[in-house]
Amino acid sequence: MFRFHRVQFLFIIILLIFSFILFDIFSLQVTDYSSVEEQIQNQTFQEYYIPAPRGEIYDSKNTKLVSTSLEQYLFINLKKINEENLGTYKQLIKFNFIELSNEDIENIFNSKEALEPIYSLTNINFSIQKQLLEYDALEVFEIPSREYLYSNVFSHSIGYVGIPNAEEENEYQNARGNKLVGKNGLEKFYENTLAGVPGKVIFKGDQIIDYIDPIPGQDLTVTLDIELQEIVIESLIEGLDLANKNFESESNIERGAVVVLNIETGEVEAMVSLPDFDPNQFVEGISQFDYSRLDRKQAFNNFAIQGLYPPGSVFKVVAYWLAISENIFPVDANSKDDSIDCTGNLSFGFNDGSKQVYRDWKLEGHGAVDLRESLKQSCNVYFWDIALKIWRQFGNTDGESLLQEYSKELGFSKLTNVDLPYEKIGIVPDRQLFEEWKITRPELVREEGWLGGDLMNLIIGQGAITTTPLQVANAYRTLIVGQNSSPYLNLNATRVVNNNINISNEFSEFLLNDLGSVTNTGGTAFKAFSIMGDEVNDIGGKTGTAQNAGDKNNTSWFVGIDSISEPKYVIATVVDEGGSGSAVAAPISRRVIQFLKGLELTPVEFGEITE
Amino acid sequence: MINRRITLIGPEGTNLYIVFQFILFNVISWFTLYTSIESLEFTLSNLLFRQIIFSTIGIGIFFLTTYISINQVAELSFFFILVSIILLFGLLLTEPIVGVNRWYSLEAIGLPVYLQVSEFSKIFVIAYLARILSGYENKTIGFSLILINIILIFLQPDLGTSFLFVSVVLCMLFLTEIKFKQIFLISLCLIILFFIFLEFNLLGQYQIDRITNFFTSEDFSQQQSRLSISSGGLTGTFNQEIEDLNVFVPVQSTDFIFSLFAKNFGLVGTVVLFSLWLFFIFRVLLIIQQSDVIYEKFLLSGVILMLSIQILINLTTVLGIIPLTGIPFPLLSLGGSSVISSSILFGLINRSFIENNIVI
């Protein structure tokens, strides 16, 4: 039989137990709440991060460029500091570390962290270390320190590290624990590779109960070459000194950049930007004074990828390529070998009957010039003629941006996608841009907007166009190999192809030969290269002198090719306010080419002033 | 038997209150687990999604169970107890997992799930015992089968679950005309049996440790779980950003889930949860009183006793009042076997509500 009253009896007991349990929970959560609160706080695990050693950086020949070394550091466990022992510890630190000022010591004890580093133990003798560690609140952990072994040499390409801001802490998950993050250059671009996972000190109450070792970051091997880089810097500095001696510039000529690019692979073998700085200053924290001083000199700009300069005549290769591909030559010429007569100026009429005269840099004219001669002597008239032809044929139609399209194929006004942060893209102006500027920057454009004259300016690399030295170097490289792929500095970077271009096999041969003529007799860079004797036959390049607005001196350009028969390197050199390209930039490049070819180095000497 | 039409909330006549209560308990479990997970990434190792999957299967099984009539349960109960004994015996032949033969691993068929047979054995034992008590079976054979079942669980070894079984069986016996004296005698016999096992070293060392630990010093997880409950305060930390109040409780998402619940929802949440359960028990007791079918009375008493005693053992464990047992909180603890066996128990209750024509 089933007895229901026994069920009731059982459940009354169950209800009683429930009430007892509820009473227990009530006392836990309400009556005893405050008394256990402290116990809970002590229970709570707290973590303190110990920075992980950052990956080291090696050059292409395995020379260590950036090192990370571990240093024994004394820490204080601030959770164990109370009013009673505060004085003792202060005395102890003051006595043993005379390098620390009273203010430093106050800062240590005012920290909100659980652990606070006091000082390196490197120079403390062992018995004192042992004595110190007998104090309950003192601990030792290893802290990595980063050293840029060649200080200024790679300040822009490798970059530097610093204390992460809130944004960086969000973007890079280990930045907060490492208390360090790549701020610029490869240090920033490869932050996730270089940064390790920070170690953890785990506290329960004031006790350290666990320590998890940091995981070091991965090393990086770069395409740069320390020897080459140092030669390039030397040459650029010599060139700057030379320019300062020869020009009466209002401001000191001190800015310039050089990029040495491996033509076949796209490896950046040297990248120099001046003025530079010592990235080691950032490791220990740079003073406000030093920072402002360097910042005023624009030392933090990597002009190789951030300097925006009108390219001047080095841009003429774009028109050179266009002329051959589209078969567009000056009015009296039907092929690249047909000559026109350059009289030193070009005058042409407009529909409204007005006439305009453009004057070449060589007032007496270059005489009879074909495509090769016009590149060799950097004759503007020849290229203006091409621009006029494009304008007359396509002006005000969809096809009028032919030259701009060719420029973009070569990477102008586009990212080269080099593995460095903050790359700038520059400008290749066209009608559309001028229309936009009418609204946003009316001081830069005329009311009529884009005109034939603007195209004529563009074809010789003047006017609104701006480019970076790396873009220029990569554009030449693109014309030689037929493919626009991104340059890179990490030897193991994934190679990015930006776009393929359409060139014939003969084209690069023509181009190289014609570039070769520039450094030979009669070419604009002959004087700068003549010291090399017969070697010069195999070398090529293109000079450029770009006018700047206002009182600014011209920008000096040279793009060099180390060998016409077996081109291996392209060297782009720019000296801001350096004047004529053939006078300043060309001899700098010459010295770099001498090194690349394993020849005797001769000093940078002032070349011929052309353009 | 009446053929019932299928509706959106199960067969025609499904009790809304039971369905609502059942789903509510599941959702409370999700909310509790939600606070313990680090990301909302949908993976099988994510505790919350794991439990949601189990719950979904559980809800399906709850409705399926509703299609089985109480009569059929009674008829099949002998078969059930045999299956239970075979499965439990089979367990002893498997490779031990973390030192005990408690689970069948379903990894061989590609599921990252461990099947805990004793969870299902609960239902079978109740169904069969109700059958014996309502006088249909040979009592000697019947009680021997149940004893074998419990001993097999004891041998896994699973002291907590065996203790749960013994308590439920004794309570169900108590509902018959049995005398207090007899119950007392049976209990005495079982205690002697327990010591015999102890003497012959049939208990795992860690279980003896648990018991001796309990009487000599406080257990770490129980100590921690009390602190965790305490940190909930009156209203809980669910909506507060208090990172500092993070007490570490081992296996908090399964057996110790109540400590997490109490921390999140505080005393208020605890009172609400208790009220829900007490009201549920009260409703089931009313059915037991109303029903004319003896088997149904025993079955439902068994089911509700199983659920309540499980909760009591779990809570007293979490509060450190009794030694560690490893009994989950029904429908709150994380665990597939537990959720599904609780779903079957709720399904049986729903069925008897239907058969007694109680709709709301």
The pLDDT confidence band at residue A306, using thresholds 50, 70 and 90, is very high
Cβ neighbours around B326 below 10 Å, total: 19
Tokens standing for residue B83:
């299956």
* DSSP conformation class of A315: G
pLDDT in tens, A488-513: 999 988 888 999 998 888 888 889 99
For chain A, say whether B223 makes contact (Cβ under 8 Å). no
The pLDDT confidence band at residue A467, using thresholds 50, 70 and 90, is very high
pLDDT of residue B307: 95
Of the candidates B233, B266, B281, the beta carbon closest to that of A11 is on B281
pLDDT of residue A20: 94
pLDDT in tens, B65-90: 988 889 999 999 999 999 999 999 99
Query: Would the CB atoms of B231 and A40 count as touching at under 8 Å?
Result: yes
Distance to chain B for A48, nearest Cα, Å: 14
Taking residues B284-303, report their average pLDDT: 92
DSSP H/E element including A261: strand A256-262
For chain A, say whether B176 makes contact (Cβ under 8 Å). yes
- The reported pTM is 0.65
Beta bridge partners of A120: A73
Distance to chain B for A4, nearest Cα, Å: 7
Q: What is the dihedral of CA A561, A274, A422, A470, to 10 degrees?
A: -10
Amino acid type, B124: F
Cα–Cα separations (whole angstroms), residue B192 to A442, B187, B199, B203: 102, 9, 10, 14
Q: Which of A20, A22, A31, A43 to mutate to test the interface with B (most CBs of B within 10 A)?
A: A43
pLDDT of residue B250: 73
The answer to whether the CB of B7 falls within 8 A of the CB of B67 is: no
Q: What percent of chain B has pLDDT over 70?
A: 88
Instruction: Give Cα A164 to chain centroid, integer Å.
Output: 19
CATH H superfamily, domain A47-221: Penicillin-binding protein 2a (Domain 2) (3.90.1310.10)
Q: For residue A57, report the phi and psi dihedrals to the nearest 5 degrees.
A: -120, 130
pLDDT of residue B247: 72
pLDDT of residue B115: 87
Of the candidates A3, A26, A28, the beta carbon closest to that of B226 is on A28
- Within A327-401, residue ranges assigned H as helices are 371-376, 380-394
pLDDT of residue B221: 80
Query: Would the CB atoms of B312 and A14 count as touching at under 8 Å?
Result: yes
Query: Would the CB atoms of B267 and A29 count as touching at under 8 Å?
Result: yes
Taking residues B191-200, report their average pLDDT: 79
Q: What percent of chain A has pLDDT over 90?
A: 46
pLDDT in tens, A158-180: 999 988 888 888 888 888 889 89
Of the candidates B175, B262, B315, the beta carbon closest to that of A29 is on B262
pLDDT in tens, A106-137: 888 888 788 888 888 888 888 888 888 888 88
pLDDT of residue B330: 93
The pLDDT confidence band at residue B38, using thresholds 50, 70 and 90, is low
The answer to whether the CB of A546 falls within 8 A of the CB of A311 is: yes
- Within chain B, residue ranges assigned H as helices are 16-34, 47-66, 70-92, 117-133, 139-154, 159-174, 180-199, 205-216, 220-231, 257-290, 294-318, 336-355
Taking residues A442-468, report their average pLDDT: 88
Contacts with A, B 5-44, CB within 8 Å: none
Query: Would the CB atoms of B176 and A22 count as touching at under 8 Å?
Result: no
pLDDT of residue A558: 94
Highest mean predicted confidence (pLDDT) among B53-57, B224-228, B355-359:
B53-57
pLDDT of residue B240: 67
Distance to chain B for A218, nearest Cα, Å: 28
Counting one residue from chain A and one from chain B, the pairs whose CB atoms sit within 8 A come to 99
The answer to whether the CB of B46 falls within 8 A of the CB of B334 is: no
Strand order, beta sheet including A207-212:
A45-50, A199-204, A207-212
Please provide the average confidence, as pLDDT, over all residues in chain A.
89
Beta bridge partners of A349: A355
What residues have CB less than 8 Å from B235, skipping those under 6 apart?
B265, B266, B267, B268
Regarding the domain delimited by A226-596, which CATH topology (the fold level of the hierarchy) does it fall under? Beta-lactamase (3.40.710)
pLDDT in tens, A23-69: 999 998 888 887 777 777 666 677 889 999 999 999 999 999 999 99
pLDDT of residue A556: 92
**Residue ranges per domain, chain A?**
47-221, 226-596
Query: Would the CB atoms of B285 and A28 count as touching at under 8 Å?
Result: no
> String of b and e for A43-61 (b: at least 16 CB within 10 Å)?
bbebebbbbbbbbbbbbbe
pLDDT of residue A34: 79
CA–CA gap between residue B197 and residue B159 (Å, rounded):
11
- Residue in B closest to A18 by C-alpha: B312
pLDDT in tens, B135-172: 887 889 999 999 999 989 988 888 889 999 999 999 99
Taking residues B283-290, report their average pLDDT: 91
Q: What percent of chain B has pLDDT over 90?
A: 42
Of the candidates B229, B247, B308, the beta carbon closest to that of A43 is on B247
CA–CA gap between residue A253 and residue A237 (Å, rounded):
10
pLDDT of residue A237: 94
CA–CA gap between residue A294 and residue A288 (Å, rounded):
10
Query: Would the CB atoms of B308 and A14 count as touching at under 8 Å?
Result: yes
Of the candidates B267, B278, B315, the beta carbon closest to that of A26 is on B267
Taking residues A501-527, report their average pLDDT: 88
The answer to whether the CB of A158 falls within 8 A of the CB of A148 is: yes
The answer to whether the CB of A381 falls within 8 A of the CB of A359 is: no
CA–CA gap between residue B347 and residue A596 (Å, rounded):
85
Of the candidates A18, A30, A40, the beta carbon closest to that of B274 is on A18
pLDDT of residue B1: 45
